[in-house]
Structure 1
Amino acid sequence: MGILAIAAMLAFVILYILFYFSNYSTRKRWTFIGSLLALFVSLVAIVFAYIQQSDFNAWQPAIIFAEESVIKSEPNTAGQQLFILHSGTKVNVLDELEQWNKIQLTDGKTGWANKEDLRLLKDF
């Protein structure tokens, strides 16, 4: 999306320069319309690139490295045990709180895991 935004902005600049230096009214009209379309495409591409970047930053994949990790309902040792994950399970980290990470599985289950039990893939 970023490349499209840059290309559309470059087309906008070129078409606007052509509009400015054109002597004929039909050419002025078409270059002006083209420059406005290029500007619109550029702005839409920038918005989509921003959304894509936000989604990429929100996704924090991690792998469970502990042989067995107990997933709790709260970020403390007194929390209720929801389920157990084994080594090699891929999760998404949603939030962090002290030594706990809020995780989500691919099936939508969420819970709190000890930070020592998993490693973020972005750290490698």
Structure 2
Amino acid sequence: MEEEKRQTRVLIAIALVFCALLIGYNAFYVPDASLESFVETDQLSGNGEYSMEAEESSEKIHLNTASLEDLDTLQGIGPALAQRIIDYREEYGGFSRVEELKEVKGIGEVLFEQIRDSVTVEPAE
């Protein structure tokens, strides 16, 4: 009986050591999360730094040519507001400046600042 208690204590001690090692490993393990593993190589500039220019130019939505679906992808713009932007564009012959977006009903200063860097203006067709 004493031998069984001793063996049980030894097994519990071994289990505790194993758990401590496992917890310690997980607490201090840092996976390789370098920027290059998340960024496509064509978005890197020649010196290995992330280039925002490539991302911005490809993501900007042209107010004078964008479809309802394109406008709907903007943060804070739903289908109804996207339709109002298109209606404004058709009524006034397009946008000459990005700031004209504030004249569309439902686009206030806060929303405008939120989407300002995501849109651009091309000459109307």
> Fold-level match, TM-score > 0.5?
no
Structure number with the bigger relative contact order (C-alpha 8 A, sep ≥ 6) is 2
* TM-score normalised by structure 1 residue count: 0.34
Larger % of helix: which?
2
